[in-house]
Structure 1
Amino acid sequence: MRRGRRRVRKRTWWQLMVVLFGLLVFAAAVGGAAGLAVVKSQINKIPRVSVGLSLSFEQQSDSEARNFLLVGIDSALGVDPDSPIHNDRDINTLLTDSVILVRIDPEADRVAMLSIPRDLWVPISGKGWSERVNAARGIGGASTLIETVSDFLGVPIHHYVEINFAGFLRIVEAVDGVPVEIAQSIRDDSVGLRIEQAGVVTLDPDAALAYVRTRRPLTLIEGGNPANDDDWVPLGVWNDLERNQRQQEFMVATLKRAVEKGIRNPLTLRRVANELLDGDSPSITLDDRITLGQIVDLGDEFRSFRVDQIERYKLPVADATIDGKQVLLLVEDAAQPALEFFRAGSLAGVRVRVLNGNPSGTVAGVEDALERAGFSVVERANADRFDVGITMVRYTVAFEDEAQELARHVEPVPRLELVAEIDGADVELVVGADYAGVSGTPRDSAS
């Protein structure tokens, strides 16, 4: 089915580099043969991992939404022996230090990220038992990690990207450090992190890696002496959710820095790519199914994409102890709205404005019902009149499919109304006197 979303306007040449926890996904928009040569020569250097059979084949075309599983490997292979990252570390470890699901939707001009806590307790695919998600790769390789995440969260995974600590360090070095807003002093001796002053700090490679990895940070009490260990107290509650938030913030900051440093220029792109790919050991790996053409097309779709448009999601979890291990359990009902957005082939996640057109009714419960069904409510307000008898779904030509999808969830069948323009939302739901609710299971047809 043709998606109704607007096509991204193609303006000037640019290179979309999705850098997430230092993970580099080349998505190159090429304006000429020279640019194509840069992209092709660099991408061909990237090692591939054979996981094709574990990836989803649901995607119908390169313009449709796809999910990337981006994985940071807890390995210090290739890192300077003097780096603090080697403290109490086996260079051959196969634990995943960061797992991030990224949805790229060219037709909707949207990029979203979902951090998956490393301590999330999941059934290991094909094994018959459960473990923390960060152990899945070590148990059965990249394929097992892909299948475990996909099966447990119910989301398709179309591509896989993996990077180790050396790759992360090289990216930060290539953009001359990453400026980060530090709200308050932060310290974690176990990873070599120490920033005593709040404010904007440009993190060098070692500091950047320590910043995104810290799990037990301390902060200096007001008026405290930095040299006195007793003046440093725990910062936050020391859980994976806080660390995930820092990682997401760092991802966006890295992207902004890359653009500021001229990543849209082919010569700059070559330099950054060389930083990442050169060396005795590979620091980044791609799946064996993604092609050069797909990468180039992806970048071409996102010529006008702005870094601050990246959407951030998190999984609702609860602390638990299983077999003596401190783990996190997914709160499944609360997680569904976020997960629906990452389920390719679904129009759930559509941005809806809810308008009250019935003076004797209320839209207070409508928002919750829509979000439970997977839609995103961006605003709740009054309609332009209060005598609406039949509930309506308003839409523009570009969002006809989204309107049809919403109508399939609303009880009873609403009226579809084509309008010239809707600002700030994909569709509008005008709640009338006949409104009876929102169903989590759509009808076969909206009519």
Structure 2
Amino acid sequence: MRAEKKKTKKKRTWVKVTLITLGILLLAAGVYTFMVYNSFNDAVSNMHEETNREVSSKRTEKVSLKKKTPFSVLLLGVDAKSGNSGRSDTMIVLTVNPILESIKMVSIPRDTRTEIVGRGTMDKINHAFAFGGAEMAIDTVENFLDIPIDYYVKVNMEGFADIVDAVGGVTVVNDLDFSYDGFHFAKGTIELSGKEALAYSRMRKQDPQGDFGRQKRQRQIIQAVIKEGASLSTLRNYDDIFDALGENVKTDISFSQMVSIQQNYKEAAKSLEQIQVEGSGTRIDGIYYYAVSDEYRSELQNTLKKHLQIAE
């Protein structure tokens, strides 16, 4: 009888210890989550940049993130040393559709000849940012693709190295052996630090594909950063990651919108299709341009409209 009481007492003690331990772990997890949440909120506050743009004229209704409306984002890679007078050498449009569970990533060559909206001139598409900042770049890309650009993200390419380092570096599969900016990049799977990733994504002249090869490497780095940033192993570095984002990224996406996207658009990440705008090089008055045919452009526009579920 006494032995049974002793056994029961031990069980109760272990139950108490287990519950107390569990409670401490839950409390610690809650505090940690709260710290991450606040840190991310602060970073997004630093990142947030308002524009004077209203809802795109190419939309009949405003995007509802709660209703999982497919949306688009323009990613601009800019040299911050030039400020707003710089050119956006990287222009990538993402169309995100959680219903179709897919994302399309469209790379627009920087030399693409098109109308610069707001100036009424035909010029290289990357000049739009130099002439009128993010707003003119957005308007020009909207006109070129004939789809709404709902949000934009502007990245300081010089500071992009800090973002790569903050996630612990990235791993990519390199298909071209080359050296650039003091670094050598062998063929095959390679690991890159921030400075290496920046050099890797900038090389153009040694690549037989020219700017297309560079854009491919830029997409590789972006995808690798997203993959690393989403992994659990990077959570311990959240302060570094959020600091790097806050200092080098500007966007018109608010904190609450980011939370909604994270909650409602996870399915879209299941499939990512990369699209390279097709065209050919030409010279006009001695200046090199990348010319895109009306036929191909119309085909691309229809593809993106269908993905955004917008009537053609």
TM above 0.5, yes or no, is yes
8 Å Cα contact 2:97-2:268 kept in structure 1: no
Summarize the Cα distance change of 1:193–1:259 in structure 2 as closer, same or farther, 3 Å threshold.
farther
1:321 aligns with 2:283: yes
Cα distance in 2, alignment partners of residues 54 and 326 from structure 1: 34
After the TM superposition, list the runs of 4 or more consecutive aligned residues in structure 1 that deviate by more than 6 angstroms.
Answer: none
Equivalent residue number for residue 283 of structure 1: 248
Higher helix share: 2
Q: Distance in 1 between matches of 2:174 and 2:287?
A: 32
Contact 2:178 2:185 in 1 (8 A): yes
Alignment of structure 1 residues 5-404 onto 2, 5 Å:
36-53=37-54, 55=56, 58-62=61-65, 63-75=68-80, 77=81, 93-188=85-180, 192=181, 194-195=183-184, 197-217=186-206, 235-238=207-210, 240-260=211-231, 262-263=233-234, 265=235, 267-277=236-246, 282-287=247-252, 290-303=253-266, 306=269, 309-343=271-305, 347=309
Relative to structure 1, the CA distance from residue 340 to residue 268 in structure 2 (aligned partners, 3 Å threshold; closer, same or farther) is farther
Tell me the C-alpha RMSD between the 2 structures: 2.8
For residues 333 and 92 of structure 1, do their structure 2 counterparts lie closer, same or farther at Cα, with a shift above 3 Å needed? closer
1:92 shift after superposition: 7.1
Q: What is the alpha-carbon distance in structure 2 between the residues aligned to residue 139 and residue 346 of structure 1?
A: 29
Q: CA deviation at 1:149?
A: 0.9
Q: Percent of counterpart pairs with the same letter? A: 24
Q: Deviations over 1:245-264 (max 9, x none)?
A: 2222222222222234635x
Structure 1: 5+ residue stretches without partners? 1-30, 78-89, 218-234, 349-404, 406-440, 442-447
Using CA pairs below 8 Å that are at least 6 residues apart, which structure has the higher relative contact order?
2
Deviation at 1:339, TM superposition (A): 2.5
Question: Counterpart in 2 of 1:380?
Answer: none
Number of residue equivalences:
277
Q: Is the 8 A contact 1:73 1:165 kept in 2?
A: yes
Aligned-partner SS, 1:48: coil
Contact 1:71 1:100 in 2 (8 A): yes
Superposition TM-score, scaled by structure 2 size: 0.78
Structure 1 stretch 174-183 or stretch 329-338: which is displaced more?
329-338
User: Partners in 2 of 1:130 and 1:174 — Cα distance?
Assistant: 40
Once residues 295 and 284 of structure 2 are traced to their aligned partners in structure 1, the CA distance between those partners, rounded to angstroms, is: 21
- Contact 1:115 / 1:313 at 8 angstroms: preserved in 2? yes
Q: Give ranges in structure 2 of 5+ residues lacking alignment.
A: 1-31
